[in-house]
Amino acid sequence: MQSHLAAIVEAIYQKYGYDFRQYSEAHIKRRIMNRMAMSGLEDVSQMPSKILNDEAFASRLLQDLSITVTEMFRDPGFYRSLRENVIPILKTYPFIKIWHAGCSTGEEAYSMAIIMQEEGLYDRTTIYATDFNQRALNSAKEGIFSNKLMKEYTANYQLSGGKESFSDYYTSNYDHVIMNQSLKKNIVWANHNLVTDSVFAEVHLILCRNVLIYFERELQNKTQKLFYDSLINGGILCLGAKEGLHFTDLYEKYFELDKKQRIFKKKY
Amino acid sequence: MQYDAVVIGVSAGGMNAMKIIFSLLPKDFGTPIIIVQHISPRSDNQWIDLLNDKSNLTIKEADEKEKIEKGTVYIAPANYHLLIEMNKTFSLTIDERVNFARPSIDILFESAAEAYKNKLIGVVLTGSNHDGAKGIKRIKECGGLVIIQDPKTAESAYMPTSAIAAVKPDYILSLEEITDLLIKIDKQKD
């Protein structure tokens, strides 16, 4: 990493414990330069001391570095495959533990809860939804989303194979909707950092989509090891549309359940 | 002057524009080309395969961490931003849309300008969005060569017009002339 960038991520790590040292550099640089342009600082070399001495500034920068872009039923084709290829496997277990790693503001965790409810599995399911961004987690827990987005989410839901009326899953209140309590009841929201924390729980299914693309190769491998160690034998790993296992040592240790949708099954 | 890469930003009208360019570029064209074409987030990459079938060059979707190779054309995947790292590999992100677009031309251009400095050619083609104007300015500031499609010849003039307003281009040309110029520059390398 270039020296001024390295000094910035080092300052964040030393003072606040968030480790971006193995994130993709072009991405980190773009986010930092955007914050820089808004901050009134004259030079990027002033940023490390600003981070160390100004907690409000550091907090804003941390939000910049945490990507919270997500959707309900993001990539409908993935959720369709999940219904067709993964649910039949989950049905064989007496209880089901799902880890949604990097859940951000919770849209995909709620999507998962909806599917489990429709499949009649939700009462024996626990969804652990984790993120390092506490503000995003707090928002996820509230389950309040902009009403404007519901049209798109409804389309996603229908394309994913959803057959119910999507509006039954929330209550509208002017500009916002609030997700049903029945969906929230088995979701456990928890702060967990994939970079610095260890195995979270032993689970049957892990979803971690569009998180690893931000990591450098070595950190990707380390995180994949964490997922492997967290899955039961025969457990399922779901990655983002452009993420894979090809460059990890673990490639041979999974079957491809759905190559296109990046769904893998851990070998026994 | 030698150039190590070409970045192209294109939006509305891009499918026809790319068909013209890639039917004309010869098999021995060595400089890697990296493209952002604005496209629906739900688009699959079949159009890339079709374009590849009609071209002498290898045209493929850019993969994350992939190393940029000579003689290859890379296209940003739908619904992801494409960035170039200092070590000439790709990164993908799902950050917010920029100029209503993901992938955004500005994001590709700005990261490419950092990575290639004065060894970069930036090209803005047809489109009805101002994406690319900020990025092409950055390419120029870093010493790169700027080529913009003549708005009079563009299916949609808004994007090249916005780019010309943002930066003084080295060339304003039609698609055929742009292709000829790229071939000429590429040959100078040998």
Asked whether the predicted pLDDT for residue A89 surpasses 90, the reply is yes
Confidence of residue A248 (pLDDT cuts 50, 70, 90): confident
Interface predicted TM-score (ipTM) of this complex, two decimals: 0.93
Please state, in angstroms and as integers, the Cα–Cα distance from residue B44 to each residue in A77, A81, A259, B74, following that order.
11, 16, 15, 15
Q: List, for residues A121-132, the tens digit of each pLDDT value.
A: 999 999 999 999
Write the CB contacts of A224 (distance below 8 Å, at least 6 apart in sequence).
A212, A245, A248, A250
Asked whether the predicted pLDDT for residue A17 surpasses 60, the reply is yes
Closest chain A residue by Cα to residue B43: A75
Asked whether the predicted pLDDT for residue B189 surpasses 80, the reply is no
Write the CB contacts of A176 (distance below 8 Å, at least 6 apart in sequence).
A144, A145, A146, A147
* φ and ψ at residue A144, rounded to 5 degrees: -110, 125
**Kind and range of the H or E element at B15?**
helix B14-24
**Residue range A149-164: average pLDDT?**
96
What is the pLDDT at residue A1? 61
Q: List, for residues A171-210, the tens digit of each pLDDT value.
A: 999 899 999 999 999 999 999 999 999 987 899 999 999 9
- Fold topology of A76-266: Rossmann fold (3.40.50)
Collapsing DSSP to helix, strand or coil, B89 comes out as strand
Collapsing DSSP to helix, strand or coil, B86 comes out as coil
Confidence of residue A56 (pLDDT cuts 50, 70, 90): very high
* φ and ψ at residue B143, rounded to 5 degrees: 95, 5
What is the pLDDT at residue A40? 85
Contacts of B94 in chain A (CB under 8 A): 67, 69, 210, 213
Q: List, for residues B4-43, the tens digit of each pLDDT value.
A: 999 999 999 999 999 999 999 999 999 999 999 999 988 8
Confidence of residue B172 (pLDDT cuts 50, 70, 90): very high
Asked whether the predicted pLDDT for residue A2 surpasses 80, the reply is no
Angle (nearest 5°) at CA A126 between A124 and A128? 170
Q: Do A67 and B64 touch (CB under 8 A)?
A: no
Domain ranges of chain A: 3-65, 76-266
Nearest to B83 among A27, A67, A217 (CB): A27
Q: Mean pLDDT across chain B, nearest whole number?
A: 96
* φ and ψ at residue A93, rounded to 5 degrees: -95, 145
What is the pLDDT at residue A183? 97
Angle (nearest 5°) at CA A108 between A105 and A109? 85
CB neighbour class for A40 (10 Å; exposed up to 12, middle 13-18, buried from 19): exposed
Residue A75 Cα, gap to closest chain B Cα (Å): 8
Nearest to A25 among B86, B92, B107 (CB): B86
One of 3.40.50.720, 3.40.50.180, 3.40.50.2300, 3.90.550.10 is the CATH number of B5-188, namely 3.40.50.180
* High-pLDDT (> 90) share of chain A, %: 91
Q: Do A67 and B94 touch (CB under 8 A)?
A: yes
Q: List, for residues A250-264, the tens digit of each pLDDT value.
A: 999 999 999 999 999
Query: How many CB atoms sit inside 10 A of residue B169's CB?
Result: 21
Q: Mean pLDDT across chain A, nearest whole number?
A: 95
- Residues of B labelled catalytic: 11, 38, 131
What is the pLDDT at residue B42? 84
Confidence of residue B1 (pLDDT cuts 50, 70, 90): low
Contact status of A30 with chain B (Cβ, < 8 Å): yes
Nearest one of A78, A81, A259 to B42, comparing CA atoms: A78
Tokens 């619904």, residue located? B79
Contacts of B79 in chain A (CB under 8 A): 241
Contacts of B63 in chain A (CB under 8 A): 242
